Amino acid sequence: MKYITLLKILGVGILGGAIPLVIYLSISNPYLKLSEQVIDGNRLAKNQLVNSNNPSGPADFTAAAESTINSVVHVTTKVIQTTFQRDPFQEFFYGPGAGGRELKQYGAGAGSGVIISSEGYIVTNNHVIAEASEIEVTLNDNSKYIAKIVGADPSTDIAVLKIEGEKPFVPIVLGNSDDLKIGEWVLAVGNPFNLTSTVTAGIVSAKARNINILNGQQNKDIVPIESFIQTDAAVNPGNSGGALVNTKGELIGINTAIASQTGSYAGYSFAIPINLVQKVMRDIIDYGVVQRGFLGIEISDVTQEMKTSKNLLDLKGVYVEKVLENGSAAGAGIKQGDVILKIGSKEVNSPSELQEEIGKRKPGDKIIITLRNNKGEETTKEMILKSKSGETGILSKEEISKNSALGATFVNLSDEEKKSLKITYGVKVETITSGKLKSIGLTAGTIITKINNEPINNVEELTTKLNSSNRGILLEIMTESGMKDYRGFGL
């Protein structure tokens, strides 16, 4: 009997030790991506979601507001725009850059953000921090932290920040924006006009709304993805980057824009769906940039005029205007004049709906597309998505770091580009987000030919010099039209 009792005690002890071990291994599994380990709001809040069903009376928002308000932060930024004033007299005697000096202009901005990890990761809008030289985050308890930018994606207007602190932060629970219904109650939580921790309520007015707000802000190399949730919850300047939550307290969108002629709330606001945000923020945490898959087509709405002129069966789907060479769609046999009806099991009836579905995916993902060809026959096509450069593989963080520095990514100049510009060296800015290079006026397409009067021959040479320099930098740059100029920082 003693042996049986001893075995029982031993068994309970082993079981008791095994449970925390299993939990520890599930959290610290080295094979999990970083984002899978740190985005932990749903894990930490299991069984704590609000029950919003109230058939006997009006919806009650108090529990949802209470469960989310500590996860929404106030983001303030200091903006320093730097220009470099040249001194032609000094340059004549001592060479390019001699006698030049920096001129600085100062500004400030404010917005909101949402804590998505107990380790201090925060998601916000790219436009909130795009020009920032310094970012401060204030929590609901008024504690303040300096934030660093993990990465940003101008195509979706999403950015990820990171704050460091001793206490665990309160992450929000992530919902599923695909389940959102028109007419459903939602809450907007943010900091309008610097009025911290403000909660407003409204309903979902529409989904997959494209308002072309990102088109004017992007350069030609960036494809904006707009598929907004439209609500009538009051959102004002300062709400950008804040939370749109359902009545269970789950994050279902990031508030981004308003429809207004005055700059203040005028009836409608727009939020980026969390299912699209999740892909973007996880890529940024894992790789520093978004790894996006492309179909390789140009598309348009199916209008009544198009239905009549092209003898289409109905108004459903998205019309394929053009198929790009060597793209995923071309390889799968999709042709101009086809009408795409579904991506996987999801119906798509507008370009914004299609963009949202593809925007959730990465190069190498296999998808099935249901389409109707120009003969009216419905068929399915299987394809593997490619990156913008035509690759189906994911770049490692190490590969990405070789091509990026100070908030920008770079590509080598082609022989044709060098010949047209009459140069033999130089590297082109491919994309640029918040960082030192943007603050001195560089844009996508700018060509960097020299650093501190030393010619730059390839991308790795440039990024090594930029990332390792601990002194002032003078850049000789050239526009795509061939105009030469100089920019300096840290002088």
If you compute the radius of gyration of the chain from its CA atoms, what whole number of angstroms results? 26
Q: 314 lies in a domain?
A: yes
Which domain covers residue 422, as residue numbers? 397-489
Question: Is residue 213 classed exposed, middle or buried when 0-12, 13-18 and 19+ CB atoms within 10 A define those classes?
Answer: middle
Looking at the structure, do residues 262 and 401 belong to the same domain, yes or no? Answer: no
Distances, alpha carbon 327 to alpha carbons 103, 332, 352, 385, in Å:
45, 9, 20, 8
Looking at the structure, do residues 332 and 208 belong to the same domain, yes or no? Answer: no
Looking at the structure, do residues 99 and 191 belong to the same domain, yes or no? Answer: yes
Q: Which of 186, 291, 206 is nearest to 248 (CA)?
A: 186
Residue 219 is predicted with a pLDDT of: 57
Looking at the structure, do residues 59 and 185 belong to the same domain, yes or no? Answer: yes
Low-confidence ranges of the chain (pLDDT < 50): 1-27, 47, 55-56, 491
Residue 69 is predicted with a pLDDT of: 95
Q: 402 lies in a domain?
A: yes
Segment (H or E) for 30? none
Beta bridge partners of 380: 370
Looking at the structure, do residues 362 and 416 belong to the same domain, yes or no? Answer: no
Q: 444 lies in a domain?
A: yes
The enclosing domain of 133 has a CATH number of 2.40.10.120
Question: How many residues comprise the chain?
Answer: 491
Q: 22 lies in a domain?
A: no
Residue 30 is predicted with a pLDDT of: 59
- Vertex 28, ends 26 and 30: CA angle to 5°? 105
Count of structural domains within the chain: 3
Calculate the CA 316 to chain-centre distance: 29
Looking at the structure, do residues 97 and 240 belong to the same domain, yes or no? Answer: yes
Task: Decide which of 384, 418, 433 is a domain's last residue.
Answer: 384
Q: Which residues are catalytic?
A: 127, 157, 240
Rounded Cα–Cα distance for residues 47 and 355 (Å)? 34
Structure tokens at 278: 């999740």
Question: Is residue 373 classed exposed, middle or buried when 0-12, 13-18 and 19+ CB atoms within 10 A define those classes?
Answer: middle
Q: 246 lies in a domain?
A: yes
Looking at the structure, do residues 231 and 342 belong to the same domain, yes or no? Answer: no
Looking at the structure, do residues 248 and 371 belong to the same domain, yes or no? Answer: no
Q: What share of the chain is helix, strand, coil (3-state, %, to 5)?
A: 25, 35, 40
The enclosing domain of 461 has a CATH number of 2.30.42.10
Q: Which of 375, 427, 172 is nearest to 277 (CA)?
A: 172
Looking at the structure, do residues 81 and 163 belong to the same domain, yes or no? Answer: yes
Q: What is the DSSP code string of 377-434?
A: -EEEEEEE-B-TTS--SPPPHHHHHHTEETTEEEEEPPHHHHHHHT-S--EEEEEE-S
Looking at the structure, do residues 281 and 350 belong to the same domain, yes or no? Answer: no
Three-state SS across 104-150?
A: EEEEEEEEEEEECCCCCEEEEEHHHHCCEEEEEEECCCCCEEEEEEE
Q: For the whole model, what pTM was predicted?
A: 0.83
Phi, psi of 196 (to 5 degrees): -65, 150
Instruction: Number of helices (H) and strands (E) in the chain: give both, helices first.
Output: 14, 26
User: Which residue type, as a one-letter code, is found at position 378?
Assistant: E
Structure tokens at 452: 């501190």
Q: 390 lies in a domain?
A: no
Residue 406 is predicted with a pLDDT of: 85
Looking at the structure, do residues 269 and 237 belong to the same domain, yes or no? Answer: yes
Task: Decide which of 254, 287, 320 is a domain's last residue.
Answer: 287
Beta bridge partners of 28: none
Pairing state between β 268-273 and 250-259: antiparallel
Rounded Cα–Cα distance for residues 435 and 123 (Å)? 17
Q: 8 lies in a domain?
A: no
Q: 143 lies in a domain?
A: yes
Looking at the structure, do residues 222 and 180 belong to the same domain, yes or no? Answer: yes
Task: Decide which of 287, 305, 332 is a domain's last residue.
Answer: 287
Structure tokens at 308: 């009549």
